[in-house]
């Protein structure tokens, strides 16, 4: 059975979903894709082009109204921390000039593994650690995201 998801709903932690779809940050940027599930079922996304899914989003099947919750799949990432917020801000500027997906917080920067960027961050004085965690990059100034 193929469940076609055509409608994106805002996150609602209290809403029960029929299925969960765990996607990497890159996969959450795809608006048209088919996913085979371990139980033998398939999900097909047919969302408006440019849709960027966020952790917790709900997707609804137009055919039968079933709900699927999107979750951020843990994936390999680099997390960079600095002794000062100014050092972190400078690093964000330099990584931003490379136009790579970047998760920005007041205490760390997170990005996909890249040895050149890791070396640059370390040369800027940041501590960089490798781990496997959910990755939530900025969607961009004109990104399709929910108000929070």
Q: What dihedral do alpha carbons 94, 31, 60, 69 form, nearest 10°?
A: -40
Whole-angstrom Cα distance, residue 13 to residue 69?
Answer: 9
If you classify domain 2-72 with CATH, what class do you get?
mainly beta
Give 18-32 pLDDT, tens digit per residue: 889 999 999 999 989
Ranges under pLDDT 70 in the chain: 1, 140-148
Instruction: Give the rounded percent of residues in the chain with a pLDDT score beyond 70.
Output: 93
Could you tell me where in the chain the CATH 3.30.70.790 domains are found? Answer: 75-133
Beta bridge partners of 72: 23
pTM attached to this predicted model: 0.85
Give 30-41 pLDDT, tens digit per residue: 989 998 887 787
Q: Does domain 75-133 have CATH number 3.30.70.790?
A: yes
Three-state secondary structure string covering 52-88: CCCCCCEEEECCCCCEEEEEECCEEEEEEECCCHHHH
Could you tell me where in the chain the CATH 2.60.260.20 domains are found? Answer: 2-72
């Amino acid at each position: 059975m193929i469940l076609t998801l055509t409608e994106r709903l805002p996150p609602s932690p209290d809403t029960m979903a029929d299925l969960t779809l765990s996607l990497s940050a890159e996969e959450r940027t795809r608006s048209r894709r088919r996913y085979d599930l371990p139980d033998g079922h398939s999900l097909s996304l047919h969302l408006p082009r440019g849709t960027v899914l966020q952790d917790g989003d709900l997707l609804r099947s137009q055919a039968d109204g079933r709900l699927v919750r999107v979750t951020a799949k843990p994936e390999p990432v680099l997390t960079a921390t600095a002794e000062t917020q100014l050092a972190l801000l400078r690093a964000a500027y330099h990584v931003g000039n490379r136009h790579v997906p970047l998760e920005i917080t007041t205490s760390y920067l997170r990005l996909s593994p890249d040895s050149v960027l890791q070396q640059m961050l370390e040369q800027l004085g940041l501590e960089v650690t490798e781990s496997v965690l959910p990755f939530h990059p900025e969607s961009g100034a004109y990104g399709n995201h929910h108000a929070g």
